[in-house]
Structure 1
């Protein structure tokens, strides 16, 4: 991704065209999307408001019904003598008469309260349970509720559900019920309702095939449709003052109303697809505009690409290849815009003229480089010539004619190589033979003080290398590393490297001397020419210049000091065709 942005120029025609198209289309698309979302939001608000009002109305009816039941039960607790008698230690005959009378009252009143399912009375002292119920539900259901009520009432009030001012929810055998219990002396009276029958009337409202209406506790526990809620990942534990959308895969709108008579809420769960089905025309418009955009934008882009971008790209590709040094390329002529035809013809004519000029300049530069190379190589010869005469003079003084003969032969070989070193390249074996010959000359000059070792694979001996690129550094070692403190060893190692698929020859020239001074080392590594009045270190600079000219910046030389002492020079040369 970073490479893409590096290649992308914000000032190019391609960028300007893309920005212009986006500047026109993005605001239109944003306006369309805003209008779409605004319309959807309006419809959702209307649906939520409508269902919210309906739920509030229905919850008010439930609360009113529960309030009527509470008032009736409160009146019985306050003034009914039969309920009072059932909680007193009276004779059995009087208890039975009060029980029968209270049952008759409850049975007579229950048809008037259409919300509730049953009234019940429980006497703690006599462990007696009486129930007046509507003809709904099953016997097992009423028996399970009776067992639950007897269990919680026979030990007296628990301070939580009994005697509270509101109805509470209790689950029995997988079904949830609403209970409200009042205490009157030693007796209890109350009522219960199956929550499934409360929301039954809401089934007549069209909430869609996937819509649901249900009761929940104030903690968000569903009193029905638990499997549907869990399967769709619907969150019921949120603020019901406003509607919200929830769901795992499909989206659902949740609208609710809280009860003022108990810890339960009434909720409507409406599929979002059911809500948005009332927007057919908006959907058609959005679909039409989207299809048109999908057709127009690619077609327009293709036309711009064919008429402008492709001709520009052809010109850019040719210019990139020219920048890389290929002056033979031309722009292919093709049918297109007249302006690009004129540009292509003019460009090709101009490149033909530039190529001819470049050939002339190149030939002149080649001649100049050859002259400069010869000059740089010949600068080394006078310096060594003076050293050789000094060695010969020293041996003559000692009258060691045998060594003089060997030295003379070495010097003959040395100068023979030097006289042919005006060539740009020689074989590696020739350069190493010349280096061995030079080391032998210095061994004769410094007996027991200098030795040399060369390590090179046989397959590299025929490699073409610049002359004197190794011997110059060996000569530098002899000039600056030789001391009377101990013998010096010169080690030359040559091997083949492969960096990024391109072969390189690496030559390492090391010695066991004192190494480079720090100030000299820093100057050498930045490629500066280090000389004094006597011209010292000019040999190293000459090698650097020759490698730069021959390899056009592809060769490298690095200088360092060994950890164990001594200097180290690393030369890397690319292995490919050379100018001769």
Structure 2
């Protein structure tokens, strides 16, 4: 009786175990379904968040492009010259200048944005930046855009057009007799969104404000709202492959549950071993990581008895040391950058020079020197226009030389025949990039310390290519550098802390930041007298500055 009772009791336990497994399996199946729908919802939410950020950036780019092409159409002197050229050479130079500007804009917004210029009176249609479409597509866009501009009430804001089976988004910058146009393929705008995990048959659908499908396919049954462009003109919907992306998740989960039931005994026996040998060391490792966020102390897992965790501890310690060093280096670089920017602003803001120019113009007006007043006003206007537009890190050498010429012309009007200058530059060096106001810094120093009304002064600027470098030489006929100043300049010793040579110090710092050790500046006194400054910088052009040509 006792054995039967005990046997009956074991069967009872087995039945209880079996009965407990049924709801467990059912719960696992329900959990699998719940996970499938949860993953689907999370995927929609994730897509919406990513799409919202990306679409905001696209909207910002579209707004920036619209403002830029409208400004260029109305005010860009190169485009005005293209519309009314006086010679073929003038037209060629203006096209080169305008394409350089829009190549830079294209590099910052994306190569799929295409920029065109159009002069209806001459039927002149040309690309303002590198083309990313084939010639057939280019001809189709040319014909379609010309029709839209010639329409009675053309639309200048961002709108849709179709050309040879391809949908585009375009915007027009109008002027009196000329237009600048930007166009981009719709599928190129949403190409990054198609890279998200939407399933084998998933895609991104575009519709207009009324829900009509763009790009051939509309929102399907498995779609959700993802965002909008241009204030709702274009709406974005992710269309998920419901079965392909999520339907197969449930089957592996069910098999996992069944496998877990088969090996439950094994896992039960190994649980204690894992608890002592694996889980506890991992928990200690996690606790140390948590403590790392609160203090700067090192991680110590030497007694974990798990080789991988000990190796991870060593790697974390090295990584933390590197991160700390990088933080310190980044902090020092930021401090240096801020100091250079501050000194650059101090270099730009020179009210006494402006007042001297105004005083000179006033004196000329009193003497009724109308021609001199016009020259002085024009040179001063060009000088300050360059000053206020020199916010870029680098500018073409041709612009820097023109600015140097304006500066010397202003000084020549003040000093008369006592000041003479000559600027010579080879064609190969004209488009080399140089930090703005570099030449002016050294010219100001020359005028300040070497100018003499009795002895006069001659300044010579020469520029030429030397292989992969550009060589700039500034020479004068003054008395040269004083020995102590020349020694400080040649040795690289700190100078200018008192504010007397802040321009030279700032220029040397900017050359070091932009070119590193590849740029060099030599200071010396010529044997025949006078000072010489020789700059040797890498011959970088505008396309290389933006990371490569388009």
TM-score range, shorter chain: 0.3 to 0.5
Query: Normalising to structure 1: TM-score of the pair?
Result: 0.36
Higher RCO (Cα < 8 Å, 6 or more apart) = 2
Bigger Rg, structure 1 or 2: 1
